Amino acid sequence: MTVVKQDLADADRAPVSQAPRPVTVTPDETQAIGGLVSVSIDGHDIKVPMGTTLLDAAKRVGVHIPTLCHHPDLRVAGVCRMCVVEVEGQRALQAACAYPVTGSLKVKTHTRKVRQARRHILDLMLSEHCGECYSCKRNNNCELQTLAKEYGVDFYRFGHVKESRVPKDESSYSVVRDMDKCILCRRCVRTCIDLQEVGVLEAIGRGAETRISTYLDKALADVVCINCGQCINRCPTGALHANDTSDEVWRAIDDPTKHVVIQTAPSPRAAIGECFGCEPGTPMTLQLNTALRTAGFDKVFDTNFSADLTIIEEGTELLMRLHRALVKQESVALPQFTSCSPGWVKYLEHFHPEYIPNLSSAKSPQQMFGAVIKTYYAKLHGLNPEDIVTVALMPCSAKKFECNRPEMASSGFKDVDFGLTTREMAQMIKEAGIHLPDMEKSDFDDPFGSATGSGVIFGATGGVMEAALRTVIELVCGVKVESLFEHADIVPVRGFEGVRYIELPIADVAPVVPDILKPLIPSFDFLKGVTLKVAVAHGTANAKRVMEDIRAGGKFSECHFIEFMGCPGGCLGGGGQPIPTSPEIRQARAKAIYAEDKGCAVRKSHENPAVLELYREFFAEGPCGHKSHELLHTHYTARGKHIGG
């Protein structure tokens, strides 16, 4: 098998999630931009490429300029003016984030005039900022609060609003809007419009009447919000936060009649240490297990187990679709889309509903695990499912919406009772008096203690695709994936480009179909000579471009399988992850995830012994069988057909 990788470098525009310009200046960069320009910033002389902003130039020489509306993931706005500086020869102060260097300049960043301007801007913001810091979700992690301390704000120069003027919007399962804390930086608007291209939020009114709202001031639950929570991750204050259900989880833990279990996804484990002062990318998997038991959870399970289960079910569904299309010549919805990102699923439902049949019918790992816990696990331990409370620790605010979808009750009960974000779990651990980095390490609980590296990499963009390919290549081609990709690392699907496209020609196939698939597919001969075409997209802005290409009959319409993730970077950049976020932070989290994958004794989903035991003991008909379809799949499938049952 050979691999052809093609990035979407020739797309209409660069991927939204692209990292910022590197500090070093290359000859190619110099030539492309038009040469270097001399800048003096507070006496520091530097040469930068023409067009570099003053803010970026200052960073290169280590000069700190405060910002509020600026964010490394977003386009320049220049609306808050906190970054004003003095430019020699200019009458007015200039916003450093939006001022391009086009000629030699002398800049001063902390003169009396600059300091007074910034202080007045802060005072004006604080005069409209209602609420007490100590009761705010962002207390001690609020950019406005940090700047107020930095600039010595000790009284409200222009007064202070003490009573709420705008009711909180708590209609959404995922996102709460508290516009009394909004400072009109428009980060949320730019996130929703530019980064995600959903467009739920907008600035309404002019001058003193300006406010951030939705279309016709509707509640978030009544507009096309996809619950991704990316607006939360970029809001500098507490105007946006996740809908926190941790008090309900505490009540369940304190109830002796309840058996409370929690599953933890890989992305929170790679990021939660940031909430305790650790560097981004510090893994806390085993310490977290101990902390959760100490906090009162009865069992701690690994979502990687059900990620492996997802690969078996979703991979089997793909093979069945291909068999129907290539052998039976049936009309089948291809390419098959991944379905484990609830933000992406909701985006598709809102904006491209005609392609819902292309979604894999497989539930997400979170929801599969919930169904298994309240059926198989309950029976195994003689527990009444009514007394089991299932909690999911996820990097994603959309998971809160997903677990409340009415169809997610295939066990006869609500499969997952509560979804908690990484930030919320960190707060619960602190409430329990636990300092996470100091905890001893311990393993996950059985019978779901074993998981694979394939489950771990679900947390990064391209991870679901890589996990699926590790299994499909071995089963279909009959060769070890390590013989084709060193250490089973399928590098072509990795990376933070907005969209990746890969071709994998299948030269030969396995002579025998594994027993687990024989009832569904008698032979793999129909795949011999086929070039498997797959793609990976993260962030709904990139998903939009892929979907528009498919609709136009472009190259992505010829794909067999496409992984979509609703958030930039995949789950590791989810709306429930620690704040702040940036391309560098997401890279560090990805590094931790891939390091954990390398350390796993088993790295392929189809070799997970606990998953194989589950099929022997519970899903005896195998993947996509009647029972697994009822518990592990939704009920709309390709062209409305009931796959496997």
The boundaries of the domain holding residue 35 are 4-11+27-110
Residue 467: predicted pLDDT: 98
3-state secondary structure of 389: strand
3-state secondary structure of 136: coil
Same domain, 47 and 146: no
Considering 75, 110, 145, which residue would you say is the last residue of a domain?
Answer: 110
Residue 1: predicted pLDDT: 53
What CATH number is attached to the domain comprising 223?
A: 3.30.70.20
Q: Is residue 488 part of a domain?
A: yes
> Annotated catalytic residue: which of 340, 396, 567, 624?
340
- β-strand pairing of 499-505 with 418-421: unpaired
556: phi then psi, degrees, rounded to nearest 5: -70, -20
Same domain, 209 and 227: yes
Considering 242, 269, 285, which residue would you say is the last residue of a domain?
Answer: 242
Alpha carbon distance 99, 54 (integer Å):
6
Q: Is residue 19 part of a domain?
A: no
What CATH number is attached to the domain comprising 86?
A: 3.10.20.740
Residue 161: predicted pLDDT: 87
Same domain, 361 and 372: no
Q: Is residue 540 part of a domain?
A: yes
Same domain, 555 and 584: yes
Q: Is residue 404 part of a domain?
A: yes
> Annotated catalytic residue: which of 143, 274, 317, 596?
317
Active site residue 571: yes
Q: Take residue 443 and report the two structure tokens written for it.
A: 């393993």
3-state secondary structure of 254: helix
Q: Take residue 304 and report the two structure tokens written for it.
A: 């990687």
Contact 460, 569 (CB under 8 A): yes
Same domain, 295 and 359: no
Alpha carbon distance 496, 510 (integer Å):
33
Active site residue 317: yes
Same domain, 345 and 393: no
What CATH number is attached to the domain comprising 591?
A: 3.40.950.10
> Annotated catalytic residue: which of 29, 386, 407, 440?
407
Active site residue 399: yes
Same domain, 204 and 216: yes
Same domain, 82 and 205: no
Considering 86, 110, 134, which residue would you say is the last residue of a domain?
Answer: 110
Q: Is residue 529 part of a domain?
A: yes
> Annotated catalytic residue: which of 143, 314, 424, 466?
314
**Averages of pLDDT over each 10 residues, the chain, 645 residues:** 45 36 42 75 96 97 97 96 97 97 96 97 94 91 97 91 90 97 97 97 93 95 98 98 98 98 98 98 97 98 97 97 95 97 98 97 98 98 98 98 96 97 98 98 91 95 98 95 95 97 96 92 96 98 98 98 98 98 98 96 96 96 94 65 35
Same domain, 353 and 498: yes
3-state secondary structure of 146: helix
Residue 376: predicted pLDDT: 98
Same domain, 161 and 295: no
Q: Is residue 445 part of a domain?
A: no
Structural domain count, the chain:
4
How many helices and strands in the chain, by DSSP H and E?
21, 18
Q: Is residue 78 part of a domain?
A: yes
**CA 439 to centroid of chain Cα atoms:** 27
Active site residue 340: yes
Residue 228: predicted pLDDT: 98
Same domain, 360 and 371: no
Active site residue 407: yes
> Annotated catalytic residue: which of 86, 402, 424, 474?
402
Contact 526, 321 (CB under 8 A): no
Element (H, E) at 470: helix 463-477
Rounded to the nearest 10 degrees, how much is the dihedral formed by the CA atoms of 577, 580, 585, 589? -20
Same domain, 193 and 145: yes
Residue 164: predicted pLDDT: 86
Residue 4: predicted pLDDT: 54
Q: What is the pLDDT of residues 446-481, one digit of tens each?
A: 999 778 999 999 999 999 999 999 999 999 999 999
> Annotated catalytic residue: which of 339, 360, 361, 410?
360
Q: Is residue 20 part of a domain?
A: no
> Annotated catalytic residue: which of 399, 400, 414, 604?
399
